[in-house]
Structure 1
């Protein structure tokens, strides 16, 4: 696994403040991705009446649809047919990305994580009433796969066919994702 905080260490694009990126290599059970996982701290302020609404509206406005409200599965899983965005509405969580030997990332209310197709993720623990809003790029249907060696070859094939999103889930066509995911 290569880690690039703030992206300046591995790319020329100057991402917004409080943006971290991580690249995870295929570990034989979780395919992961050549595309970086993007963590935007404090990207969206939860609403007062309906804290999840600003996340849902922002994601939808930028073409990330199929929104849901829930938590994060507590087992390693990934999606081979869609890129996913998670917005932390309330509470906080420690999530391991990249599989069993991946990176543990602390997330709090207002944080947004953009997960490339294939990148494993699992909730390790949570504090408070964790509420997450999730959505998928360009309205794509998603699957949920685990670290099963019998499905990884087919999953890698599907991941390679997932198109890059047209927009960043927070900032639209000019957002960091559209620059970070098209370089190098």
Structure 2
């Protein structure tokens, strides 16, 4: 699915796709909220893509907290939604837990993972690195096991971010996560 939206920071033709995931084995995923994958959210030839993404994310109320790769084991975050902005290289990432969907990403792309969404680095090309960011007020955890009923309820009760990590208050998150 391709959507277009306006942004003062980006071209008007940023494409994104949605990915709906059901619970799978011990990975809860998030059956209410789709994964959003933004293609070329920022031009990959931008001089310092890391700083550019960090400024963009912070300006949209998603706090950049680290730069690194993605863990090469299946995991999810139950206490925060996560935006992964690709600042270098290419990768294949398994989304949805073991046996999930393989998603190809490259510099300039952003993957928005609702809390509970399993993810794991499968392979890389070049020096693959991302910026990890989270909505203001949410602190991430790392889970590799099933959640208790109370933990699932707490995860599902997480507040929606006030803005899209890529396009602020005009972005697709505000339409797709309603």
TM-score (norm 1): 0.85
Q: How does 1:87-98 map to 2 (within 5 A)?
A: 87-98=85-96
Give, in angstroms, the shift of residue 17 of structure 1.
4.9
What residue is the counterpart of 2:176 in the other structure?
A: 180
TM-score (norm 2): 0.88
Q: Aligned match of 1:127 in 115, 125, 128?
A: 125
Q: Aligned match of 2:164 in 149, 168, 172?
A: 168
What residue is the counterpart of 1:56 in the other structure?
A: 54
The number of residue pairs the alignment matches comes to 168
Q: Aligned match of 1:21 in 18, 23, 32?
A: 18
SS of equivalent to 1:158: helix
* Higher share of residues assigned strand: 1
CA distance in 1, matches of 2:18, 2:129: 23
CA distance in 2, matches of 1:120, 1:173: 26
Q: Which runs of 4+ in 1 moved over 2 A?
A: 151-155
Two-structure CA RMSD over aligned residues (Å): 1.7
Instruction: From the superposition, tell whether residues 28 and 153 of structure 1 become closer, same or farther in structure 2 (CA, over 3 Å).
Output: farther
Give, in angstroms, the shift of residue 126 of structure 1.
0.5
Q: Aligned match of 2:34 in 22, 36, 39?
A: 36
